[in-house]
Amino acid sequence: VKTVSELGEHRVVDSILAVLRKQAKPAIPFGDDVSAVKLDRGKLLILKTDTMVWDTDVPPGMTARQAGRKALVMNVSDLAAKGVKPLAAVVSLSIPSSTSIDEVLSIIKGLEDGAKEYGLEIIGGDTGEAPTIVLSISMAGIADKGTIILRSGAKVGDIVATTGPFGNTAAALAITLNGLEAPHMLKLKLLRSIYKPKARLREGLVLASLKAATSSIDSSDGLAWSLHELSRMSNVGFKITNVPIAPEAEAFARIHGLNPLNLALYGGEEYELVLTIKPELFDKAAASVRSVGGELIKMGVAISERRVIVDYQGKLHEVEAKGWEHFTSKHLPRN
């Protein structure tokens, strides 16, 4: 009998879904960023649950308040990717009995920070005991069936775009998990990317209301993985000609002789949206995203061949379908 570490997270999930598919035909197919059940009048009830486990998911140096906030932001980001406004959240907090009440309340304040930032309410939850802190957030929203952006709608010729640069979180994890160093100001900027991530909620909402995006995913599993997910679920490929690498990640890569492209592709814990946009609506979409204070960066184009390739410094690279994998490794993917 195999253990989950021998199988790896993605094959474990596939086995679970094989069981669940026999019993449920959810309104949004399994494997998208959020789940849904049909209500009347063309509405969907959207549900999302995501869990932060202190032992494995909280990088060294992150405060309890930042961790609480991040747990909430992770969930908002998934709704943002679908263009759904979060209405409310419930929280399940399991803690060791030796936890100080101050730490517990800091986590709750962090949750409130996130809830205030994204305009939703925390309406309830439960507590219990566990050997490490486990914080599960579940979030709900109501959406019109017609406006929700799935992972599966990309068409050949659509423009591949994203809402921000990549690479800083991979650099920050190399600092916190692998002990790499960086000059003080650079280090602060990089660490901020993992300690205080932002969800692209306003961006997701305007893109959904415009009906400009044909597919969308949040990049929490890394840019490479996200592109491959959109590719797999939309049955198209992508040719990427512009990977937006953050200048801080470039500087960090230079210092340590790392490949900045790899930092950008194979990181994770970023909460940008990776989308495909109807070409005729791209300029309008970009203007709308700018109007809410964001940016929409053109990365490439959807192609019929089912592969993900990147044109970087004059050379074509095959992008691998890898990202962070729980169970098999907690370390940074090698360069």
State which of residues 119, 126, 177, 241 lies at the interface with a copy of itself (CB under 8 A): 126
- Residues 212-228 as b or e (16 or more Cβ within 10 Å = b): bbbbbbbbbbbbbbbbb
Sequence letter at residue 34:
V
93 contacts: CB under 8 Å, gap ≥ 6: 104, 107, 125, 126, 127, 128, 133, 134, 135, 136
The span from the CA of 156 to the CA of 54, in Å, is: 41
Under the binding rule (CB under 8 A), the answer on residue 125 touching a copy of itself is yes
Least separation in angstroms between residue 229's CB and a copy of itself is 14
The span of 128-136, 155-163, 211-219, 275-283 binding a copy of itself (CB under 8 A) equals: 128-136
Under the binding rule (CB under 8 A), the answer on residue 191 touching a copy of itself is no
- 215-254: contacts with a copy of itself (CB under 8 A): none
Under the binding rule (CB under 8 A), the answer on residue 177 touching a copy of itself is no
Residue 30 or 282: the one with the smaller Cβ distance to a copy of itself is: 30
Instruction: Tell me the HSE value of 25 on the side-chain side, using a 13 A CA sphere.
Output: 0
State which of residues 63, 87, 321, 322 lies at the interface with a copy of itself (CB under 8 A): 87
State which of residues 66, 94, 216, 226 lies at the interface with a copy of itself (CB under 8 A): 94
Residue 33 or 270: the one with the smaller Cβ distance to a copy of itself is: 33
3-state secondary structure at position 297: strand
For residue 286, what is the enclosing H or E element?
helix 282-291
Under the binding rule (CB under 8 A), the answer on residue 313 touching a copy of itself is no
Under the binding rule (CB under 8 A), the answer on residue 136 touching a copy of itself is yes
Q: In this structure, what token pair is assigned to residue 269?
A: 């814990």
The span of 33-41, 192-200, 245-253, 268-276 binding a copy of itself (CB under 8 A) equals: 33-41
Least separation in angstroms between residue 182's CB and a copy of itself is 28
Q: In this structure, what token pair is assigned to residue 167?
A: 């690479």
3-state secondary structure at position 216: strand
Residue 48 or 70: the one with the smaller Cβ distance to a copy of itself is: 48
Under the binding rule (CB under 8 A), the answer on residue 14 touching a copy of itself is no
Least separation in angstroms between residue 103's CB and a copy of itself is 9
- The contact pattern for a copy of itself, residues 141-170, with x = CB under 8 A and - = no contact, is -x----------------------------
**How is residue 272 annotated by DSSP?**
-
Rg of the chain over CA atoms, in angstroms?
19
Under the binding rule (CB under 8 A), the answer on residue 23 touching a copy of itself is yes
Q: In this structure, what token pair is assigned to residue 15?
A: 């086995």
Least separation in angstroms between residue 243's CB and a copy of itself is 27
3-state secondary structure at position 308: strand
Least separation in angstroms between residue 193's CB and a copy of itself is 21
The span from the CA of 304 to the CA of 307, in Å, is: 9
- The contact pattern for a copy of itself, residues 105-124, with x = CB under 8 A and - = no contact, is x--xx--x--xx----xxxx
Residue 24 or 185: the one with the smaller Cβ distance to a copy of itself is: 24
- 38-77: contacts with a copy of itself (CB under 8 A): 39, 45, 47-51, 53, 55-57
Residue 8 or 256: the one with the smaller Cβ distance to a copy of itself is: 8
Which contacts of 294-298 are long-range, i.e. CB under 8 A and separated by 24 or more positions? 294/163, 294/164, 294/200, 294/202, 294/203, 295/163, 295/164, 296/161, 296/162, 296/163, 296/203, 297/161, 297/162, 297/163, 297/164, 297/165, 297/242, 297/244, 298/159, 298/160, 298/161, 298/242
Under the binding rule (CB under 8 A), the answer on residue 19 touching a copy of itself is yes
